[in-house]
Amino acid sequence: MKTVLFACIHNAGRSQMAAAWFNALADKTKAQAISAGTEPGARVHPEVLQAMREVGIDLEGVSPRKLTDDVAKDSAILITMGCGEQCPHIPGLRRMDWPLEDPKGKPVERVREIREDVKTRVTELLRSEGWQ
């Protein structure tokens, strides 16, 4: 089983959406996702909770967590989410960067667009890796 680590700064928006979509769409016998942040926030952004709830994914009980070596140790791929210079680099992990807009404080209509962009990217990753 492969583990994909989605990382952003606060682990309260993009990386939470990506991990949730991944775990909802992946073949659970082949791959799973986790998410973390370099400076985790206190909670998942309310606008992200709302947008994901609209598609049947409830992130209400999820808490942002710090990206540590221990969190990353079993991952095969690190996908950073538009955090620029603050994006982590973890030796030994295949790394991809998805330059996604931060949904924090955005109108729900914009958060929905970001949510769908994340879903498209996750679906393409699952297809290319054979994890669907």
Q: What is the pLDDT of residues 67-102, one digit of tens each?
A: 988 899 899 999 998 776 767 677 788 999 999 999
- 53 is in which domain, residue-wise? 2-129
pLDDT at 131 over 80: yes
- CATH number of the structural domain spanning residue 125: 3.40.50.2300
Neighbour order of strands in the sheet with 2-8: 31-37, 2-8, 77-80, 94-97
Within a 13 Å sphere around the CA of 102, how many CA atoms are in the beta-carbon half? 13
Domain count, the chain: 1
